[in-house]
Structure 1
Amino acid sequence: MASFMSISSLSSSSSPLFRVPLPTRLSSPSHNRFCNFRVRCSYAEPSVSGDARSDTIDVVADVKAERIVVLGGNGFVGSAICKAAVSKGIEAVSLNRSGRPTFPGSWVDQVTWVPGDVFYANWDEVLVGATAVVSTLGGIGSEEQMQRINGEANIVAVNAAKDFGVPKFILISVHDYNLPSFLLSNGYFTGKRKAESEVLSKYPNSGVVFRPGFIYGRRRVDGFELPLDLIGEPLERILGATQNITRPLSSLPASDLLLAPPVSVDDLALAVLNAVRDDDFFGVFTIEQIKEAAANVKV
């Protein structure tokens, strides 16, 4: 995302023809949200022949260098987001309890791993210069634990990001599966919804909430890899092919436990990158909208 801040003085009566050799790839400084670069431009008056050269002018542009902070970046979803960010030239910083993961991957060396707990984090170390915070925090446990990790931890992170002037916050939440209200009253869902409200309140024009259902991919658990894609990928295709038949059933309570299409963890990561880069991308996004956002990045 580049914006030209100033162009050296041009005569109002002239009609310059610019030939600006902009670089194809810009490096991202570690602790600066913007990087300056200078290019030389040549222009010619209408009365001057095309092969004649006139004085050059300087064009100075401030180019936004994306720097995202991923909370829970070494988990299933968080690591996919970090990996996707690195592949797109976006600087990624991960804040998580265990720090650098033990699994292999060349992209791992390109992520800044910061060990820490959201409730006790030294935000100066991670949020300065960030252009977006992405939270993948969430978990299942007792009612108190789910309220704390799904709700309170995310709320703390939202407020920290706001205090440090981070312009965008992206929350990975959860689809409600069309469940009846009494089933949505447990700590997992109520915690997530409280976190959503905080994001949309503190970031009304730039906060993003993704509500995926079942997320599939290669998930590492205690050193083992669970091939969730063997279930999720064919199921996604089947539900996609039969959606015209199953759509009338979507109004039935809890129907989405069976009918909500799974989402690839890679697609969710790409949707996050779309949200990071698009200033007009904000609000709550459903499963289908997540896939559409991912498709935009793939193109």
Structure 2
Amino acid sequence: MSSLSSFAAISRPPSSLKRASFPSRQSSHFAFASQNRLCRFGIKCSYAESSVTEDSKSATIDVVADVKTERLVVLGGSGFVGSAICKAAVSKGIEVISLSRSGRPTDSSSWVDQVTWIPGDVFYANWDEVLVGATAVVSTLGGFGSEEQMKRINGEANVVAVNAAKDFGIPKFILISVHDYNLPSFLLSSGYFTGKRKAESEVLSKYPNSGVVLRPGFIYGRRRVDGFEIPLDLIGEPVERILSATESFTRPLSSLPASDLLLAPPVSVDDVAFAVINGVTDDDFFGIFTIEQIKEAAAKVRV
């Protein structure tokens, strides 16, 4: 997955509490139920109430919460960003299904065995097999090539995936997009950026209240290519620290054309992954997110 990003309006409301569903009880019991909505996540809570009946016997109220079991489909799950998302999801107890051309990666880490790996192409996918029971889909699809190839993989492939998810009633779609680096318009008209923007528009139009678009810059981490590990973090991590430390000095330069090619801070692949997890688990997390907001979102769940 490439790591360039873009411009945007951002929506990042606070986390919402999941509502507990309460079984029918006598009216005198509802006071307890209304005061204990935090008894969720499948916990059964009992409360003793005195003097409820004439014989002063105590009564109990069972509060049974509606527990939402997450099932995440990762498009491109065997790639650099996709595998980080799969790993982060597994660490949070989320069921994960990956659809990618290469299927199962060669990584021997234990988390790999906890993912369902499906080899396939988005354009010819058996969505009945991939999307059944899913609660969210995240797409890491993207790449470089000729103009037509970039429009197809960055744009058309994601549009196909968004529409498939919508048709199957999947409640949330998350897209890994690209920061625009303050590039002039003639550069943003390339197939790479136009494809990404087309995909973004599709996500936000089909999922206006639950679609998530992440726009990271250069994504660093340990990247495997043909069996070799490329330590992108040796470059990305120190650059991120330097740019963060000098932000107050460089901010006035951010309005200059293409300035973000030098000034946009890199993003850890783990931050991108955990920002996705935040998007999966928080129903109030939707809209377009910048580099800094991706890091903030990741910090909420990276514990």
Structure 1 unaligned segments of length 5 or more: list them: 27-36
Of 69, 75, 94 in structure 2, the residue corresponding to residue 71 of structure 1 is 75
1:93-125 CA deviation, whole Å, 9 max, x = no partner? 100011111111100011111111100101011
- Relative to structure 1, is the Cα distance of residues 147 and 47 closer, same or farther in structure 2, using a 3 angstrom cutoff? closer
Aligned-pair distance for 1:56? Answer: 3.4
Aligned-pair distance for 1:20? Answer: 11
Q: Report the counterpart of residue 170 of structure 2 in structure 1.
A: 166
How far apart are the structure 2 equivalents of 1:194 and 1:14? 49
- Is this contact kept in 2: 1:20–1:39, CA < 8 A? no
TM-score, with length taken from structure 2: 0.88
Q: Report the counterpart of residue 33 of structure 1 in structure 2.
A: none
How far apart are the structure 1 equivalents of 2:217 and 2:92? 25
Secondary structure of 1:39's partner?
A: coil
Secondary structure of 2:77's partner?
A: coil
- Is this contact kept in 2: 1:19–1:43, CA < 8 A? no
- Relative to structure 1, is the Cα distance of residues 4 and 15 closer, same or farther in structure 2, using a 3 angstrom cutoff? closer
Write the mapping of 1:254-269 to structure 2, written as runs, cut at 5 A. 254-269=258-273
Aligned-pair distance for 1:73? Answer: 0.3
Of 38, 59, 62 in structure 2, the residue corresponding to residue 58 of structure 1 is 62
Q: Report the counterpart of residue 289 of structure 2 in structure 1.
A: 285
Aligned Cα root-mean-square deviation (Å): 2.3
- Relative to structure 1, is the Cα distance of residues 225 and 9 closer, same or farther in structure 2, using a 3 angstrom cutoff? same
- Is this contact kept in 1: 2:272–2:294, CA < 8 A? yes
Q: Report the counterpart of residue 233 of structure 1 in structure 2.
A: 237
Aligned-pair distance for 1:13? Answer: 7.8
- Is this contact kept in 1: 2:103–2:117, CA < 8 A? yes
Write the mapping of 1:104-183 to structure 2, written as runs, cut at 5 A. 104-183=108-187
Q: Which amino acid aligns with 2:239?
A: L
Structure 2 unaligned segments of length 5 or more: list them: 1-16
Secondary structure of 1:79's partner?
A: helix
- Is this contact kept in 2: 1:42–1:54, CA < 8 A? no
Q: Which has the higher contact order (CA 8 A, sep 6+)?
A: 2
Greater shift in the superposed pair: 94-103 or 73-82: 94-103
Q: Report the counterpart of residue 81 of structure 1 in structure 2.
A: 85
Secondary structure of 2:99's partner?
A: strand
Aligned-pair distance for 1:7? Answer: 2.5
How far apart are the structure 2 equivalents of 1:245 and 1:20? 47
Secondary structure of 2:67's partner?
A: strand
- Is this contact kept in 2: 1:15–1:45, CA < 8 A? no
- Is this contact kept in 1: 2:52–2:59, CA < 8 A? no
Q: Which amino acid aligns with 1:44?
A: E
* In the alignment, structure 1 residue 189 sits paired with structure 2 residue 205: no
- Is this contact kept in 1: 2:19–2:37, CA < 8 A? no
Q: Report the counterpart of residue 99 of structure 1 in structure 2.
A: 103
Percent of residue pairs identical: 77
Secondary structure of 1:134's partner?
A: strand
* In the alignment, structure 1 residue 6 sits paired with structure 2 residue 10: no
More strand by share: 1
- Relative to structure 1, is the Cα distance of residues 239 and 15 closer, same or farther in structure 2, using a 3 angstrom cutoff? closer
Write the mapping of 1:246-257 to structure 2, written as runs, cut at 5 A. 246-257=250-261
Q: Report the counterpart of residue 30 of structure 1 in structure 2.
A: none
- Relative to structure 1, is the Cα distance of residues 15 and 179 closer, same or farther in structure 2, using a 3 angstrom cutoff? closer
Spell out structure 1 runs of 4+ moving beyond 6 A.
17-23
- Relative to structure 1, is the Cα distance of residues 41 and 195 closer, same or farther in structure 2, using a 3 angstrom cutoff? same
1:239-272 CA deviation, whole Å, 9 max, x = no partner? 0000111111111111111110000000010111
TM-score, with length taken from structure 1: 0.89
Secondary structure of 2:66's partner?
A: strand
Aligned-pair distance for 1:41? Answer: 1.9
How far apart are the structure 1 equivalents of 2:175 and 2:254? 25
Q: Report the counterpart of residue 41 of structure 1 in structure 2.
A: 46
